[in-house]
């Protein structure tokens, strides 16, 4: 507990009584969790995870009990339960099967796996078997595109590169463990610094210390001036790796220099952008470098604590991160006397619950406060009014992982990586129709063709690339004529797209662009928080229109409707999800108009070999 926090209050839970269904252990954990925040409400998602783990689902008595423990009204708890896909307000099967059907997995045949479960069990998606043994849902991107298709059972580690045999085994009640082989690499000849070299996994603090780890954090807390740190990071040209590409040093500069109230570092580990699975690699292989980066950032912005928001489905990364944090606390690198400096800095991890919109800056803050993850109006911006109303900097997890090396080697060294205006390396995710999907640490500015052909092994089925998503599905799709584009912010902007999270999804010419757009539209429709009219209704409308085209009932007028709706959705909402949905659908239509028109003319899909939606 942050002792000297002005709003810190000890939570006194009500005593156990009739009608309470949670065990003492869970109640105690919830109460303990609440002490990590200035407002007890922020423990709500954790409380719901704990209750659901024990009780199986969130029933009305559970809602009432959690409300009582956290000083909330039941309706405030129930609306949160209803918002997050990972929380169930009806019992699910003991074996809850979650199949990802987003773009990379769809292209890898996820639909077949779903059908296999449906046919074997005699249930439809969303249903539970009468005996309560199995339930089946389709989920959005699980962050494992390089090993698609992906299935998750309950909260177990993912079953990657899932196949029919895996499904059969699950249905037999067996526990399937199939993690993919090493999927993140520093290619030969690349001066990597985000991932450990040679495929090493460095989860133990001793190993990280042995290579000079935490030395920069020590300097930051014991020797350097906070603004000097910010200057260094600004000079390095490091840009955010979460998708927006804002210059990190400038963002840190927005924080108050003489804070009279607590400031916070909020770390975005929600990683739900389809095509993106890189932050997870850092947590699984190099968590301490991230922690060190967060420590340095915390010092630079004069924060009192870092709160890490980690997507709820990432079980293995969560365990590794918690282990690493514990080790850091044990060494005094986190806590009340960081590096013996006399100052305190804490780190807490909050698990999300399956909503992509909680990766949006203020959506994440709302979720961290224990509410629905609905983004806030801006102004005010988080640096002025963030977590619980206090100044907050939100940084992507990978962005912070760059920071220790900037301090270690200096901004000039850092600028040697990447391009003039897009400095440093990044973790490129490559998935789709390539031979070797995975995460590759490469400098920014590497040409797209090189990434696909040299590092990812080229096209998987000998068919030429047709549609290439450069930075997660939110970014406008490119065609084969853009293959020589360098993968940096400026170059991609010049060709009408954006770098985003550098999550590259490659589709060959078997893939129907209408279906690809449809899968992505379905994703945005599921993930819209529902506040803004255009996003809430437009995402659904776009999906319906694309389905109409796919089913052969589309007309030429529908193409105009898609363009109009995209025009309504762009630039006019509280957050950028609406823009992303508009860019996705709009650019697929723009780049592949002939294919769209063929659907109208032929009253159906003219791509017989295409993946299913």
Partner 1 sequence: MVKITVDGREIEVANDTMLLPALIEAGIHVPHYCWHPKLSIDGSCRMCQVEVEGSPKLVIACNTPVREGMVVRTDSPRVINARRGVMELLLVNHPIDCPICDKAGECLLQDYSYNFGTRKSRTDEPRRKLEKRKDIGPRMILDQERCILCRRCVRFCREITKTNELAVFNMGDRSVLDVLPDAPLANDYSMNTADICPVGALETKDFHHKLRVWFLKKTPSVCPSCSNGCNITIQHYRNQIWRLMPRRNDAVNDTWMCDQGRLQYAFAHDANRLRLPMVRRGNTLEPCGWDAAVKHVSDALRATAKKGGAERIALLASAHFTNEELYLLTQLVKVLGLRHVAVPLVTGSGDAFLIQPEKAANFTGARELGLVAHDGGRDFTAILELARSGQLDALYVCGSDMTKLVEPTLWQAALRAVPTVIVQDLFAEPLGQFAHVLLPSLSWAEKSGTFTNRKRRVQQIQRALEPPQGQPSDGEIFAEILGQLAEGHWTFHPAEIFEQIGKEFPAFAGLSLASLGLLGAELAP
Residue 92 contacts partner 1 per CB under 8 A? no
Are the beta carbons of 519 and 511 closer than 8 angstroms?
no
Please report how close the Cβ of residue 103 comes to partner 1 at its closest, in angstroms.
18
Residue 552 contacts partner 1 per CB under 8 A? no
Spell out the residues 6+ positions from residue 536 whose beta carbon is closer than 8 angstroms to its own: 528, 530
Residue 48 contacts partner 1 per CB under 8 A? no
Residue 79 contacts partner 1 per CB under 8 A? yes
- For partner 1, the binding residue among 74, 109, 389, 496 (CB under 8 A) is 74
- For partner 1, the binding residue among 61, 132, 212, 530 (CB under 8 A) is 530
Residue 41 vs 299, nearer CB to partner 1: 41
3-state secondary structure of 267: strand
Number of residues that bind partner 1 (CB under 8 A): 42
Residue 537 contacts partner 1 per CB under 8 A? yes
Residue 94 vs 526, nearer CB to partner 1: 526
Residue 510 vs 561, nearer CB to partner 1: 561
Residue 79 vs 490, nearer CB to partner 1: 79
Q: Which own/partner contact pairs does 569-574 have at CB distance under 8 Å and 24+ positions apart?
A: 569/534, 569/535, 569/538, 569/539, 572/532, 572/534, 573/532, 573/534, 573/535, 574/375, 574/376, 574/377, 574/378, 574/531, 574/532
Bridge partners for 247 per DSSP: 239
- For partner 1, the binding residue among 572, 590, 598, 612 (CB under 8 A) is 572
Residue 529 contacts partner 1 per CB under 8 A? yes
- For partner 1, the binding residue among 9, 16, 73, 257 (CB under 8 A) is 73
* Distance, CA of 510 to chain centre: 28
Max CA pair span of the chain: 73
**How do 95-100 and 151-153 pair as beta strands?**
antiparallel
- For partner 1, the binding residue among 281, 392, 396, 539 (CB under 8 A) is 539
Residue 185 vs 569, nearer CB to partner 1: 569
Stretch of residues binding partner 1 (CB under 8 A), selected from 104-112, 269-277, 434-442, 526-534? 526-534
Residue 568 contacts partner 1 per CB under 8 A? yes
Instruction: Kindly calculate the radius of gyration of the chain based on its CA atoms and give it in whole angstroms.
Output: 24
Q: Tokens representing 44?
A: 């709500």
Whether cis (ω within 30° of 0) applies to the bond prior to 260 is no
Report d(CA 277, CA 271) in Å as an integer: 7
Q: Render the burial of 511-549: b for 16+ CB within 10 Å, e for the rest.
A: bbbbbbbbbbbbbbbbbbbebbebbbbbbbbbbebbbbb
Report d(CA 9, CA 2) in Å as an integer: 10
x/- contact string, 459-498, with partner 1 (CB under 8 A)? ----------------------------------------
Report d(CA 177, CA 410) in Å as an integer: 42
Please report how close the Cβ of residue 7 comes to partner 1 at its closest, in angstroms.
21
Residue 53 contacts partner 1 per CB under 8 A? no
3-state secondary structure of 136: strand
Please report how close the Cβ of residue 494 comes to partner 1 at its closest, in angstroms.
19
Taking alpha carbons only, the member of 437, 400, 189, 417 closest to residue 283 is 400
Residue 77 vs 190, nearer CB to partner 1: 77
Burial class (CB in 10 A: 0-12, 13-18, 19+), 391: buried
Of how many residues is the chain composed? Answer: 613
- For partner 1, the binding residue among 53, 567, 603, 609 (CB under 8 A) is 567
Phi/psi at 247 (nearest 5 deg)?
-65, 120
Residue 372 contacts partner 1 per CB under 8 A? yes
Q: Tokens representing 33?
A: 């969790």
Please report how close the Cβ of residue 572 comes to partner 1 at its closest, in angstroms.
6
CA atoms within 13 A on the CB side of 312: 25
- For partner 1, the binding residue among 76, 116, 120, 179 (CB under 8 A) is 76
Residue 534 contacts partner 1 per CB under 8 A? yes
Stretch of residues binding partner 1 (CB under 8 A), selected from 41-49, 68-76, 210-218, 239-247? 68-76
Please report how close the Cβ of residue 244 comes to partner 1 at its closest, in angstroms.
16
Are the beta carbons of 99 and 149 closer than 8 angstroms?
yes
Stretch of residues binding partner 1 (CB under 8 A), selected from 277-285, 314-322, 460-468, 559-567? 559-567
DSSP 452: I
Residue 75 contacts partner 1 per CB under 8 A? yes
What element of type H or E holds 466? strand 465-469
Cα–Cα separations (whole angstroms), residue 19 to 60, 68, 91 = 11, 12, 19
Residues in 321-360 at the binding interface with partner 1, rule: CB under 8 A: 355, 357
Residue 73 vs 261, nearer CB to partner 1: 73
Residue 527 contacts partner 1 per CB under 8 A? yes
Residues in 574-593 at the binding interface with partner 1, rule: CB under 8 A: 574
- For partner 1, the binding residue among 91, 197, 552, 571 (CB under 8 A) is 571
- For partner 1, the binding residue among 573, 583, 589, 613 (CB under 8 A) is 573
Residue 78 contacts partner 1 per CB under 8 A? yes
- For partner 1, the binding residue among 565, 585, 589, 600 (CB under 8 A) is 565
Residue 485 vs 573, nearer CB to partner 1: 573
**How do 346-351 and 305-310 pair as beta strands?**
parallel
Residue 59 contacts partner 1 per CB under 8 A? no
Report d(CA 103, CA 586) in Å as an integer: 17
- For partner 1, the binding residue among 155, 343, 463, 526 (CB under 8 A) is 526
Residues that bind partner 1 (CB under 8 A): 73-76, 78-79, 82-83, 355, 357, 372, 377, 525-534, 536-541, 544, 548, 557-558, 561, 564-565, 567-569, 571-574
């Amino acid at each position: 507990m942050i002792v000297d926090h002005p709003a810190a209050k000890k939570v006194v839970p009500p005593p156990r009584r009739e009608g309470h269904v949670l065990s003492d252990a869970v109640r105690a954990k919830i109460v303990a969790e609440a002490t990590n925040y200035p407002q007890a409400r922020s423990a709500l998602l954790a409380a719901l995870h704990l209750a659901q783990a024990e009780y199986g689902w969130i029933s009305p008595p559970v809602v009432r009990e959690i409300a009582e423990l956290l000083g909330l009204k039941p309706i405030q708890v129930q609306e949160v339960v209803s918002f997050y896909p990972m929380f169930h307000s009806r019992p699910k099967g003991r074996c809850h099967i979650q199949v990802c059907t987003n773009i990379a997995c769809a292209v890898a045949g996820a639909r077949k796996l779903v059908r296999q479960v449906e046919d074997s069990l005699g249930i439809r998606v969303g249903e539970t078997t009468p005996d309560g043994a199995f339930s089946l849902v389709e989920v959005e991107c699980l962050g494992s595109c390089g090993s698609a298709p992906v299935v998750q059972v309950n909260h177990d580690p993912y079953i990657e590169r899932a196949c029919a045999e895996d499904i059969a085994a699950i249905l037999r009640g067996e526990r399937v463990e199939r993690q993919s082989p090493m999927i993140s690499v520093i290619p030969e000849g690349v001066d990597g610094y985000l991932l450990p070299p040679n495929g090493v996994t460095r989860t133990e603090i001793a190993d990280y210390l042995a290579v000079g780890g935490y030395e920069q954090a020590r300097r930051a807390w014991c020797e350097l001036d906070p603004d000097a740190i910010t200057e260094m990071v600004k000079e390095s040209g490091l840009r955010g790796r979460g998708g927006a590409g804002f210059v990190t040093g400038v963002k840190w500069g927005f924080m108050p220099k003489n804070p009279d109230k607590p400031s916070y570092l909020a770390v975005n580990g929600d990683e739900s952008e389809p095509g993106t699975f890189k932050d997870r690699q850092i947590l699984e292989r190099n968590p301490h470098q991230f922690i060190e980066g967060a420590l340095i950032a915390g010092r630079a912005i004069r924060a009192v604590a870092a709160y890490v928001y980690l997507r709820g489905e990432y079980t293995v990364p969560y365990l590794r991160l918690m282990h690493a944090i514990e080790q850091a606390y044990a060494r005094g690198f986190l806590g009340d006397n960081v590096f013996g400096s006399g100052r305190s800095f804490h780190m807490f991890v909050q698990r999300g619950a399956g909503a992509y919109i909680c990766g949006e800056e203020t959506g994440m803050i709302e979720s961290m406060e224990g509410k629905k993850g609905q983004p806030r109006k801006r102004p005010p911006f988080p640096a002025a009014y963030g977590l619980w109303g206090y100044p907050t900097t939100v940084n992507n997890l990978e962005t912070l992982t760059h920071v220790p090396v900037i301090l270690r080697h200096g901004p000039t060294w850092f600028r040697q990586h990447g391009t003039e205006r897009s400095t440093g390396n990044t973790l490129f995710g490559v998935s789709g129709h390539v031979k070797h999907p995975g995460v590759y640490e490469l400098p920014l500015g590497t040409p797209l063709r090189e990434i696909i052909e040299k590092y990812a092994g080229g096209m998987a089925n000998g068919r030429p690339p047709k549609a290439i998503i450069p930075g997660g599905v939110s970014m406008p799709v490119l065609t084969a004529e853009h293959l020589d584009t360098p993968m940096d912010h400026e170059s991609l902007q010049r060709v009408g797209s954006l770098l985003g999270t550098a999550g590259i999804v490659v589709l060959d010419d078997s893939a129907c662009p209408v279906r690809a757009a449809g899968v992505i539209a379905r994703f945005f429709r599921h993930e819209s928080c529902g506040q803004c009219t255009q996003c809430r209704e437009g995402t659904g409308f776009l999906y319906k229109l694309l389905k109409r085209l796919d089913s052969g009932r589309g007309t030429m007028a529908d193409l105009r409707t898609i363009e109009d709706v995209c025009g309504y959705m762009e630039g006019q909402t509280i957050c950028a999800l609406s823009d992303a949905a508009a860019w996705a659908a709009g650019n697929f239509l723009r780049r592949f108009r002939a294919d769209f028109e063929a659907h109208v003319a032929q009253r159906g899909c003219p791509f017989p070999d295409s993946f299913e939606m």
